Amino acid sequence: MPVRIGPAVCRDFEQSIAREWLVTNGLGGFASGTVSGANSRRYHGLLVAPGQRVVLLAATEDWLLSDGQDPQPLSSQEYWDGNIDPEGFRTLAEVRLHGLVPVFTWEVGGRVVEKRVFMEQGRNRTVISYRLLEGDAARLRVRPFFAHREFHAQRHGRDDRFEVVETGDGWVIEGGGLRSSIQAQPAPVLESRPDWYWRILHRAERERGL
């Protein structure tokens, strides 16, 4: 049976954050999140590796950039003070499953943009693809949020920073005793400005009193 969630739910934050998706790699690793794009649980993330069950890549902030227009958000993030920033859910037109792969579609700035999240079977690797389906050419800005924490734990900002090393097509990240990497194709323009983001809310954990 086809699974499709339309704009009435996608653009209602309370409804879209209550609906979750999951993909796995056959090794015990997974990627998971909500339709809204905002993580509601500590174990939500785009790359959760097995063994120690660690959240390596928690999320990405995605923005569509074009000349003459303000940056258009595709992602969402909820904070403890109730603020939602960015608000990419407002232009999210559809979330559907293609087989077992979640497919997100935005209608934004006269364009139709698609994002897919899937994992390679037998490997601790998540692949995130973006496609411009309709409209004029634009640029994509992706800001990765690395966590490097046990998936039940909460990481707090400290004086020490992750070690970030640029490669030709991405970064190698070391921190918390863990190492991960990110690669982008075609080769991106890199800006390495690591920083902490504070007071991100995982509302399902708050409801549990955590």
Per-residue pLDDT of the chain (210 residues; tens, 9 = 90+): 789 999 999 999 999 999 999 999 999 999 999 999 999 999 999 999 998 899 999 999 999 999 888 999 999 999 999 999 999 999 999 999 999 999 999 999 999 999 999 999 999 999 999 999 999 999 999 999 999 998 877 776 665 678 999 998 999 999 888 999 999 999 889 888 888 888 999 999 888 765
Written as six digits, the tokens of 114 are 């698609």
Angle at Cα 153 formed by Cα 88 and Cα 31, nearest 5°? 45
Report the pLDDT value the prediction gives residue 208, as an integer from 0 to 100: 75
State how far the Cα of 106 lies from the Cα of 91, in Å rounded to an integer: 5
* SS3 call for 192: coil
Distance, CA of 141 to chain centre: 13
Peptide bond into 194 cis (omega under 30): no
**Could you count the other beta carbons within 10 Å of the beta carbon of residue 108?**
19
State how far the Cα of 159 lies from the Cα of 168, in Å rounded to an integer: 28
Cα separations in angstroms, 89 against 7, 67, 73, 99: 9, 22, 8, 23
Residue listed under structure tokens 């796995």: 24
Report the pLDDT value the prediction gives residue 153, as an integer from 0 to 100: 77
**Could you count the other beta carbons within 10 Å of the beta carbon of residue 206?**
11
Cα separations in angstroms, 75 against 44, 63, 71: 15, 7, 12
Report the pLDDT value the prediction gives residue 160, as an integer from 0 to 100: 61
68: alpha, beta or left? (left if phi > 0; alpha if psi -120 to 50): left
Peptide bond into 86 cis (omega under 30): yes
Report the pLDDT value the prediction gives residue 106, as an integer from 0 to 100: 99
Strand partners, 142: 62
Report the pLDDT value the prediction gives residue 157, as an integer from 0 to 100: 66
Report the pLDDT value the prediction gives residue 22, as an integer from 0 to 100: 98
Continuous segment of H or E residues that includes residue 9: helix 7-10
